[in-house]
Amino acid sequence: MTDMTVGSGFDAGPVPERAPEQRVRGYWQTVWQKLRYDYVTLFFMALIALIILSAVFAPLLAPIDPYKSSMVYRLKPIGYKQFILGTDEQGRDMLSRLLYGGRVSLTMGIVPVVLATSIGGLLGVLAGYLGGRPNTIIMRTMDVFFAFPSVLLAVAISGSLGNGIPNQLLTLTVVMIPPLCRVAETATSQIRGMDFVDAARASGASMPSILFRHVLINAISPVLVYASTLVSACILLASGLSFLGLGVPPPTPDWGLMLSTLRQAIYVQPLVCALPGVAILITSVAFNLVSDGLRQAMDVKG
Amino acid sequence: MTLMESFGSAATLVPPAGRPLVEVRDLGVSFVSREATVKAVNGVSFELMPGEVLCIIGESGSGKSVTMRSLMRLHPKRRTVMSGSMRVGDHDILSLSDREMNSIRGRTVSMVFQEPMTALDPVYSIGDQIAETVMRHEKCSRADAMKRALELLEFVKVPSPERRLKAFPHELSGGLRQRAMIAVALSCRPSLLLADEPTTALDATVQIQVLILLRKLQKEFGMAIILVTHDLGVAAQIADKVAVMYAGRIVEYGKVRDVLMNPAHPYTRGMLASTVHGQAKNTEIETIPGSPPDLRFLPPGCSFSPRCKYVLPECIAAVPPPIANGPDQVARCIRVGELPQTVRAGVA
């Protein structure tokens, strides 16, 4: 501590007694402290990591080429010979196809949400902070998109764009922007009215500095939490589009597409047919539970 | 950069003797919306010498906070109409550009807010928040700014300041938070500190500590303070001068002792009579009958006339001018001096 020998009767008074040094934790350390004992969230985080890793390393893990079909081994049950999870209606190995399908499905779940969070989040923060006319223009445009049910909107957009991975990513991004924008706008307009924004203005902060240093960073946590719940919704929506034939074209392995093509065989091999559905279910449940856990852990103020 | 260097040259920054630091002339503030125009402040004038403490007293909605926020131009631009003139130091507040205004905010004039919980950003540590203002105005490095932040925390008597520097607002008690808030406000050695009910959100024992601290810092820094409060005890404790506001006008202005001991305006009298100080136990607290006027439709004459027991027909015709009552006290009441003397001893 610096010596406070200041002239001209400049007396800081008796220096207060010092409490013993304590370790002070930062924001992310506090979040981690809370997460450490939340075993459910930790378990599902590990599960998501496992799913992502298995999709990334699918070429190494897949026992058989996912495109190799065989007329002999069609619709074999789980555990038949070398086919650990059975085969589909063209005799292709289910395990390999599920591993490769994860690549497409996870991409469809995560990429549109990331894109929509950046675009929708930014629009929402601007609308919420500026208020007035910019707010009206942005939010009423979003309301137009809200007028359509999300599935119908996705079907309409991807129906007019045609199928294929880039078009599906675009479709899902457009569908996800309005809800994220609205959450960001609500969070921002709450924060805009808070005293610390006024306090920042009163200490001479410029508009961009207030927007990025004080408003955005406070509005970001509800937006991120909401975005993580959208990942599972997005995977489901992407699977639904593939199921309807509006997503990725066959024979690309995709969980939704596999579910769609296998449905004719539901009476022949019910367990094998349900596998892509199980994969979708586990992934979306895992993302939902993790986002729930993160929401609780990130709410440091409470 | 140390506190000593930055605060030591205080004398050079104070304007020449005899010239007030703050001069507000006929300030009017109205908020315009589609439905109505609310005239929150209607012709407020006052002066403040360097190193003086002015308390603005009044009930909710009397325009005291609005007056103070006008000095920093914190009102939403689109919906506010301001008239009159305001000068702080050499700056004419109403004619400054936004950029010039930003360079004054936090440096020449800074502000302490009422609610320390919400006035500190929850995601930054106390040290970061002090350093932010220092870095913005003094263009110094982060390390220097943090050094200054530590000194400031010691200055506002926060115990174990090194640890508190890294603490987040939610980890501190209300009193400590308000001290941190004061440290942020003092970080660039302002010549005018605005405090908007700085003790209202604190509990009674902490209130007095914060007031004593403010008074002490004010003396050491030689800065002027404008303090908004509805607590007469606070005013008596800290103020040099008192302005009593009612419906957007200053109805009485003078030295704290004169105003609180010998109030000239019927509203000030009514307000002093309705405190619990100096009253016998178990007696009903006196109240002023009626309620404050609607700021959208102000009466043409004295705004207090509908509630005043000394009202005359002339009161309703025109707004009374400020009339002197002794050398250092003015009141906007045409019956100054005619009213029965009631010297009170309870408050001051």
**CA dist., res. A41 & res. A44, Å (int):** 5
pLDDT of B347 > 50? The answer is no
Write the CA distances from B256 to B194, B226, B239, integer angstroms.
18, 13, 6
Contact B133 A204 (CB under 8 A): yes
Cβ atoms of B83 and B28 within 8 Å: the answer is: yes
pLDDT, residue B6, reads 45
Count of structural domains, chain B: 2
- Domain co-membership, B64 together with B183: yes
Q: Has residue B258 been placed in a domain?
A: no
pLDDT grade, residue B295 (50/70/90)? confident
pTM over 0.90: no
Residue whose entry in the numeric block shows the structure tokens 């370790």? A23
- Domain co-membership, B269 together with B195: no
pLDDT of A275 > 90? The answer is no
pLDDT, residue B56, reads 92
B171 chain-A contacts, CB cut-off 8 A: 24
**Average pLDDT for B117-144:** 86
**CA dist., res. A199 & res. B179, Å (int):** 15
pLDDT, residue A301, reads 54
Between A and B, how many CB-CB pairs are < 8 A? 117
pLDDT of A110 > 50? The answer is yes
pLDDT, residue B121, reads 86
Q: Has residue B211 been placed in a domain?
A: yes
Contact B154 A11 (CB under 8 A): no
- Domain co-membership, B322 together with B216: no
Q: For the packed helices A27-36 and A39-56, what is the interaxial angle rounded to 10 degrees?
A: 100
Q: Has residue B163 been placed in a domain?
A: yes
- In the Cβ-directed half-sphere of A170, how many Cα atoms lie within 13 Å? 13
| Domain limits, chain A | 27-298
pLDDT of B306 > 90? The answer is no
Contact B154 A27 (CB under 8 A): no
Tell how far CA A137 is from the center of its chain. 27
Q: Which tokens is B190 given?
A: 């302002």
pLDDT, residue A208, reads 85
Cβ atoms of B256 and B239 within 8 Å: the answer is: yes
Distance from CA of B273 to the nearest CA of A (A): 34
pLDDT in tens, B251-281: 899 998 888 888 888 888 888 887 766 666 6
- Domain co-membership, B276 together with B229: no
pLDDT grade, residue A10 (50/70/90)? very low
- Domain co-membership, B217 together with B84: yes
CB under 8 Å to B315, separation ≥6 — which residues?
A: B301, B302, B305, B308, B334
- Domain co-membership, B175 together with B294: no
**Average pLDDT for B133-162:** 87
- Domain co-membership, B78 together with B184: yes
Q: Has residue B346 been placed in a domain?
A: no
- Domain co-membership, B138 together with B200: yes
pLDDT, residue B279, reads 64
Q: Has residue B92 been placed in a domain?
A: yes
**CA dist., res. A197 & res. A28, Å (int):** 23
pLDDT grade, residue A9 (50/70/90)? very low
For testing contact with chain A, the best of B5, B121, B158, B170 (most A CBs within 10 A):
B121
Q: Has residue B19 been placed in a domain?
A: yes
pLDDT, residue A152, reads 86
Cβ atoms of A51 and A302 within 8 Å: the answer is: no
pLDDT in tens, B3-51: 444 443 444 444 456 788 899 988 999 998 888 888 889 889 888 888 8
ipTM: 0.78
A27-298 fold: MetI-like fold (1.10.3720)
Cβ atoms of A155 and A219 within 8 Å: the answer is: no
Asked if the C-beta of B157 comes within 8 angstroms of chain A's C-beta atoms, the answer is yes
- Domain co-membership, B54 together with B101: yes
Residue B274 is part of which domain span?
A: 263-331
User: Of A6, A195, A205, which has the smallest distance from its Cβ to B4's Cβ?
Assistant: A6
User: Of B104, B119, B137, which has the smallest distance from its Cβ to A195's Cβ?
Assistant: B119
pLDDT grade, residue A1 (50/70/90)? very low
